[in-house]
Chain A
Amino acid sequence: MLQIILGAVMLGLLWSIMTIGVYITYRILGIADLTVEGSIAMGAAIAAQAIYCGINPYAATLLALGGGMAAGLITGLLHTRLKIPALLSGILTMIALYSVNLRILGKANLSLLRMDTVYTAFKDMGLDKIAVFVNLGISQLIPIIALGLICVLGIIGILYWFFGTETGCAVRATGDNPQMSRAQGINTNNMIILGLIISNGLVAVSGALIAQQQNFADVQMGIGSIVIGLASVIIGEVLFGKRSFFSRLISLVLGAITYRVIIAFVLEIGMPANDLKLFTAITVAIALALPVFKSYLRPIAKSVKGGM
């Protein structure tokens, strides 16, 4: 049981970086950016191929970051310079990235078995040999969780700082009210592009870390990832609140972890893995429809209260 939960925590941590990326476009910029389906696989592909070619895994992860940022830039340019609607711009980049990712990998998937990954250094430090963890059967998870935690906390710190700066405030204002932002001298087009760059960079890093954890990169791994990201964002908001920006960032991580725990649980009680995406889609649809349900329920709740 502990193994299952910690496994879910580990996956949730790695996916939470992607969740934060989705949050930046979906909540801060108000754009549903489908680029992420391509950039998460791109991050995995770049990192895997680079490691396979003998590049240092940390450098490989940084390369993945660069690739994701470039993908975000393309979507941003399509949207702001060529005036293609945001949703369509994301879809175009996503589809294009499928071919690009195949080129990077050279085939549909690439194994990293017996290669050094970013987690190797943590294993070498002996984190996986601590007796307590070995006895509990979770020793393989600990190095990954440790590195995942460091990455997530670092990213949260950087983003918390960035969105408090003049430029960060301008990005937030652009998503909130573009008309007002232009009237205050903000180049809204550039802020949208910047937001997409940061978001897709994070998503690609997430993809790179996931690929190194599962020891392979697959060109298909992005399919449905936007829905997973949205599910995590919404679960985080519903369960852990959305007061300050800092608490929102934390709630995104907890949301991503909760999502993985839920998935682990439904798989454990016997749901076929093939039905996962259907399950996730239904969950997100219900979560997004919550305001509608609430407005139906309010009059009923009132009459119930009034009756008492």
Chain B
Amino acid sequence: MLSVRGVYKTFNAGTVNEKTALRNINLTLEEGDFVTLIGGNGSGKSTLLNCIAGVHAVDEGSIIIENVEVTRLSEYKRAELLGRVFQDPMVGTAANMGIEENLALAYRRGKKRGLKWGITHKERELYKELLKPLDLGLENRLGVKVGLLSGGQRQALTLLMATLRKPKLLLLDEHTAALDPKTAAKVLELTDKFIKESRLTTLMVTHNMRDAIRYGNRLIMMHDGSILLDIKGETKQQLTVEDLLQRFGKASGEQFANDRALLS
């Protein structure tokens, strides 16, 4: 489903600010995999996600999504294959457009946009049906500008938009990090439900070890631009935070130093 081969990425190459964000990343996701990706600040987890999404061009290596070589494709062209939710709730939706208009934009992801109406009556009914299970009362506020919604509501909407057209790969970039704990838990539950219902292949970046362990069928830990741990199957099911820390220490020869990940 996703195949990342020998990917390198260096920012500001040749300057004093040179920073190698990814070193020889090799990663294959099978169809239906729900992978949680964890790592400290600057470990390269978000860079990897952004390279897959086409925000950054890779220096070396190739990225293949469902048999499509996307390494050189621009971000908007890859969007046909991808569903994305971002860390900042403001990023995933257009604030000055209505809820239904945002959904209509997502509904046309990967389709040619012509001079037909940007939203049809039939769609409105569909959106109402889809918004109801979110249990946020949004189904009765289709015309309301998204800028008036709370962060949690916007993330839930972005999640719905990302999955409205079933993506080949769902990319979640710390999408609950900016929410309060209660809302974050709710959005995560919703995420898990969406992924299970549609059997979505997912790559979820998180800084929260508990979440990384609880969700998904496979856990990948990055450190200093490389994949350090790749835990799946039975081992992943029985994993604990202590386990993970121990494994990290053994593999990297360092202490895991990220309070945010440990305390939450």
Contact = CB atoms under 8 A, between A and B. Distances in A.
Interface of A: 162, 164-170, 172-173, 176-177, 179-188
Interface in B191-245: none
B105 A170 contact: yes
B91 A166 contact: no
Interface string B57-93: 0000000000000000001110110101010001111
Contacts of A186: 76, 79, 105, 113
Nearest to A244: B143
Interface string B99-128: 001001110111101111111000000000
B94 A176 contact: yes
B113 A166 contact: yes
A55 to B, nearest CB: 30
Contacts of A182: 75-76, 79
B79 A166 contact: no
A185 B118 contact: no
Contacts of B80: 185
Given A173-B97, A183-B92, A188 B76 contact: yes
Contacts of B2: none
Given A165-B114, A166-B116, A185 B93 contact: no
A186 B97 CA distance: 15
A177 B79 contact: no
B105 A173 contact: yes
For chain B, the bracket of interface size reads 20 to 34
Contact of B161 (A164, A167, A169, A184): A184
Contacts of A173: 94, 97, 105
Contacts of B97: 169, 172-173, 176
Interface of B: 53, 75-77, 79-80, 82, 84, 86, 90-97, 101, 104-106, 108-111, 113-119, 161
Interface centre among B79, B104, B111 (most CB of A within 10 A): B79
**Mostly helix, strand, loop or mixed at chain B's interface?**
loop
Contact of A166 (B95, B110, B114): B114
B93 A166 contact: no
28 contacts: A162-B115, A165-B114, A165-B115, A165-B116, A166-B108, A166-B113, A166-B114, A166-B116, A166-B118, A172-B94, A173-B94, A173-B105, A176-B97, A177-B90, A177-B93, A177-B94, A180-B93, A181-B76, A182-B76, A183-B53, A183-B84, A184-B79, A184-B105, A185-B77, A185-B111, A186-B105, A187-B76, A188-B76
B118 A168 contact: yes
A171 B95 CA distance: 14
Given A169-B105, A170-B105, A180 B94 contact: yes
B91 A179 contact: yes
A249 to B, nearest CB: 16
Contacts of B110: 185
A180 B116 CA distance: 21
Given A173-B94, A183-B53, A166 B115 contact: yes
A165 B105 CA distance: 11
A188 B117 CA distance: 19
A180 B92 contact: yes
Contacts of B115: 162, 165-167
A194 to B, nearest CB: 11
A182 B92 CA distance: 10
B62 to A, nearest CB: 21
